[in-house]
Amino acid sequence: MNAPTKNKNLLNWVAEIEAMCTPNQVVWCDGSAKEYDRLMGEMVESGMAIKLNEEKRPNSYAFNSDPSDVARIESRTYIASVKEEDAGPTNNWTDPVELKKTLTKLYTGCMKGRTMYVIPFSMGPIGSPMAKIGIEISDSPYVVVNMHIMARVSPKVLEVLGDEGEFIPCLHTVGSPLEPGQKDSRWPCAPIEEKYIVHFPEENLIWSYGSGYGGNALLGKKCFALRIASNMARHEGWMAEHMLILRFTNPEGKQFHIAAAFPSACGKTNLAMLQSTVPGWKVETIGDDIAWMKPGEDGRLYAINPEAGFFGVAPGTAKSSNPMALASCRKDAIFTNVVVTDDGDVWWEDMGVECKGGTDWHNNPWKSGMKDGEGNTIKGAHPNSRFTARAALCPVLCPDWEDPAGVPIDIFVFGGKRANTIPLIHEAFNFEQGVYMGATASSEPTAAALDLGNVSLRFDPFAMTPFIGYHAGDYMQHWFDMGETLGDKAPRCFYVNWFRKTDDGKWLWPGYGENSRVLKWMCDRVEGKVDAVETPIGLMPKDGDLTLDGLDISAEDWAELMKVDTHLFKTTLSNAREYLAKFGDKLPAKMVEQMDALEARLG
């Protein structure tokens, strides 16, 4: 196939990678339905993909990955900056020169017996002044079909790129060359010790070797849209954040746009697709995972969702928890490491429906309630099993979610999972305190963080810990710098905690759709409709301003939900100081000022 571009830098790069990786053929992808169907057909024939029941799940497919390749591998993910200190304490650093030598040896001949796909994609609406173009080279057809959904893959991308345009080069291989006549494995990948996900920030370059899993292989997602983009953003004066974006419209038609950052297991996707319980107020989804934000001509901060799909965790997604996410994967979806039922549909734990039987994510026969030799229940779906769904199929998607100019952000929301200490809602006194709130977002350790040992709190600044592409201290300073740029037009900042409990373990707040009540109070604050009570930690609702009509919450429970225990807060502050100390002299002076001011207010 002749290359559909005259961009010399792109043509030279593709030729260089072809010479190094020696594939059987090179295919330039066009993002068409015809291409998608052809690749899916080939993968069904090879046994890599399972075609689902057309009546139950139209045009949808399931995949089972190798057990060694089921999640992002943070221990094998690197920021290969020229100077080690530029990577900072939250990243794995490796010398870029030495690593390129290691990887060049691995890449040499790595695509033997395979097809090399060249995938032109846009992060953000094609042609938007806020969008960026990437080119992913991969030998994985699974990557191609997922990129069709997650990014905008189209010949139009190459038209916008033109002959001289710049792009982010993203190189990926499963690292499993095939000899003539050798049968391919169901899910080709390299051993764990040969997996590498590497970012070269000075070159805006991504090299991924050995993994076929989404976060390691769909390089437009975390690798480009967060790690590389966050570094580009600080140099270019914008923001690349691990944030959902939603529109909240009041009965009079006034729109508020909210960007929110939550650590894992804190209900981020649920909030992005919230079904409001406040009469007359409507939530619409713009994005569920990543926000790119840039100051507009009017001085406000505008956001786009750089992605085109949802790469969601399947277990726990149910009609009761997130019906909109479930509806988004009703057709044209890809499922990875879930149960394929006997009648050709999909199932996972906590889906809220019965599963009589099928094949599990290991592709073995499975029935609900099966036990292993030690009496433990065998899960059918992997805890990190995924659905890849088109954003366009989300029933509550904003009609103008692809506006190339983006939407103006009114509110930033931060949060974590805390059984005590943090009240349901409080507002920052100003943007600088809001940055402190985001930088000290914390949760009690969960099952996903058992390797932390005896740690009382898990801090996750702006829910970005694994995704900051440079020193986290410099990243926090960039937030302060953006606040100075935006001035009085900076978004208002709030902190929520949906997870507060009584001493005997009962949830104090119902969560889910009822969280819209809290969002409404935020919007009322932005509009100046309600005053707030000043407390040592920030501004909180006056009695009656956050409506509880129809909720079964006693006065005692409400008091506990909103309680500010200064003793417990001092402990959290002490933990925050200890955590932030590791950033050394890169910790912004304003962070220290905020901690000192909070300590003084707590008394």
Per-residue DSSP letters for 434-461?
A: HHHHHHT-EE---GGGGGG-S-S-EE-G
- 523 as an active site residue: the answer is no
User: What is residue 454's predicted lDDT score, i.e. its pLDDT?
Assistant: 43
What separation, in Å, do the N-terminal and C-terminal C-alpha atoms of the chain show? 71
Among 21, 223, 266, 329, which one carries the catalytic annotation? 266
pLDDT of residue 450: 37
In single-letter form, the type of residue at position 212 comes to G
Question: 170 - beta bridge partners?
Answer: 136, 206
Half-sphere exposure of 67 toward its Cβ, with a 13 Å CA cutoff? 4
The pLDDT value recorded for residue 455 is 52
pLDDT number for residue 1: 62
- Give the single-character DSSP code of 225: I
Round the CA-based radius of gyration of the chain to a whole number and report it. 24
pTM for the predicted model, two decimal places: 0.97
- Return the biggest CA–CA distance within the chain: 74
Q: Where in the chain is the domain with CATH 3.40.449.10?
A: 8-30+72-236
Report pLDDT for 91.
98
Give residue 449's pLDDT.
37
Q: Domain 8-30+72-236, what architecture?
A: 3-Layer(aba) Sandwich (3.40)
d(CA 171, CA 168): 10
Residue 267 confidence (pLDDT): 86
Name the segment(s) of the chain with CATH classification 2.170.8.10: 51-63+309-394
Element of type H or E holding 601: helix 589-602
CATH architecture of 240-305+401-602: Alpha-Beta Complex (3.90)
Q: Residue 162 CB: number of other CB atoms within 10 A?
A: 10
**Where does residue 510 rank: exposed (0-12), middle (13-18), buried (19+ CB within 10 A)?**
middle
Give me the count of residues in the chain: 603
CATH class of 51-63+309-394: mainly beta
Whole-number Cα distances in Å, 54 to 63, 444, 501: 16, 43, 44
CATH 3.90.228.20 domain extents, the chain: 240-305+401-602
> CA torsion 103→109→114→118, rounded to 10°?
60
Q: Mean pLDDT of residues grouped by 10 in the chain (603 residues)?
A: 92 98 98 98 97 98 97 95 98 98 98 98 98 98 98 98 98 98 96 97 98 96 98 98 98 98 89 96 98 98 98 94 96 98 97 95 94 92 97 98 98 96 98 98 64 66 97 98 98 97 93 97 98 98 95 95 96 96 97 98 95
Confidence (pLDDT) at 356: 87
